[in-house]
Amino acid sequence: MIKNNSANETLRLNIKRLTYAIVTLLVFEGLVRKVLPSAVGLIVFFIKDILCVISLFLIYKSRANLKDNSLVLYKVWKALPIIFTPLFINTLFKDTLLPFFGVKQYLLYVGVAILVPLAFPPNKYQEFKRFISFFLFLIIPTTLIAMLQNSLPPTHWLNLSVGGDTLEAFSAAGYLRVSSTFSFTGQYSWFLNIVCAFLAYYICLPLNYKSKLNRKLNYLFAVLLSGLLIIGAFITGGRTAVIGCGACLFVGFLLASIKSPQKFVVQGVAVVIVLILSMAVLRTIKPEFFAAYDQRSSGTEERSHSEEVGERILGDFFGWTTWLFKEDVSQLLIGNGLGVMSNGADKLSNYASSVRAYLWTETDLATIVWEGGLYLLIVWYGFRVWVILLILRIWKAIKFKQLGIAMSFLFAYIIIIGLYGTISAQPPLAIWWWLSVGTVFTINNFYKAKVL
């Protein structure tokens, strides 16, 4: 018995180390690729996939420890490869390697949601708190690097792409849209979105300290991180970061007010006031951090910024309907091949390379229906909606109001990215999304064990 317990603990520690490794790699991958030669950088690009493949073996060895929602997700996940078989065969006719890459894009990263509760079982709450603190601490180096990039010329190696090309074409108001430690601005924006949800959780359900000094330091830490998050979001110059964080907070506020209207009104108003004042102060002190975003959000003579955003969102959701039904019947039903629109596919497949030379779907729904037709739209998007409903059930069952308020922001992130994010084509975003799902599973396990 002692030997089995020791083996289980060793396995759990390996899962925890792997979880930390995946998070750390995602955050610093771009910086590492800029330092290394491009050929070596391409290997670094695929390390996250290797880590996620390793997670498959660890999850399989730990399957006896799965319970509740993580067990349900594990069982559904195991069935998905069978459901994807028609799409795999269809892609196989296009290219021999592409179907494996394509299935990987959709199914591999689901395992991250199962890793988190395995890494932090109910008797390891202190370790989970340290993981949350570590995750939030990453705002500091990423924002500092972004601030440094903002002050450097476009030709500096830190401001070049991972391939060594200049990014001046993506500047606004004379400032680059910085990418911090990430490979490109979009990846940095996705990171800021999930950090926003985690930080809101942290603030609404702060880590408990008996010492008043530690409690004050905890609040100061939260204020510091909030300021750095604001700087990071605006300094990207991207609407994905600013509007994404804003949407997470807005939907989170709505959900929190439903969960506990009386308790949250005062807290919500206070948070909004602090955020507005912080932004006003930062704009006054360092206007250059906001210049790129202000330029890109100024709109045009024909359309205001809000009209542009509204049209973009509608186009992302429904733009694919303008061309889907013009496709052949086979393309309409099972698409043109999995994985074609993902980064790296053009380097692995001649078919993907030939398609990407003239076409890129960009949005998630367009990618889904182009790659897998209506079949994939029903299966994959339906699976994501099912996961959101699973999280909804967890959120509704939380009776501890302060925890329910805190979890509202994680739930908001899961809703927004699950319905709108390009999870199908962007592995980093997929990993962040599944990490947030696993985090909710883990928090729920603590709640059921009466640790929270």
Largest CA distance in the chain: 73
DSSP string, 35-79: HS-HHHHHHHHTHHHHHHHHHHHHHHHTGGG--HHHHHHHHHHHH
pTM: 0.92
Cα–Cα distance, 384 to 363 (Å, whole number): 16
pLDDT at residue number 23: 98
Q: What is the pLDDT of residue 278?
A: 78
Q: What is the pLDDT along the chain (452 residues), one digit of tens a residue?
A: 555 678 899 999 999 999 999 999 999 999 999 998 877 887 888 899 999 999 999 999 999 999 999 999 999 999 999 999 999 999 999 999 999 999 999 999 999 999 999 999 999 999 999 999 999 999 999 999 999 998 888 888 898 888 877 877 666 656 678 899 999 889 999 999 999 999 999 988 755 556 666 777 877 888 899 999 999 999 988 788 999 999 999 999 999 989 887 766 666 677 777 777 877 888 888 888 887 777 767 655 566 556 666 666 666 666 666 766 776 777 788 999 999 998 878 888 899 999 988 888 878 888 999 999 999 999 999 999 999 999 999 999 999 888 999 999 999 999 999 999 999 989 999 999 999 999 999 999 999 998 87
pLDDT value of position 238:
79
CA gap 452, 445 in Å, rounded: 9
**For the chain, which residues make up each domain, given as ranges?**
2-448
Give the model's pLDDT for residue 123.
Answer: 93
Confidence (pLDDT) at 451: 83
Query: What is the per-residue pLDDT for 452?
Result: 74
pLDDT of residue 219: 79
User: Other C-beta atoms within 10 Å of 177: how many?
Assistant: 23
Per-residue pLDDT at 74: 97
Q: Which residues contact 210 (CB under 8 A, 6 or more apart)?
A: none
Give the span between the Cα atoms of 359 and 306, in whole angstroms: 28
pLDDT at residue 348 in the model: 85
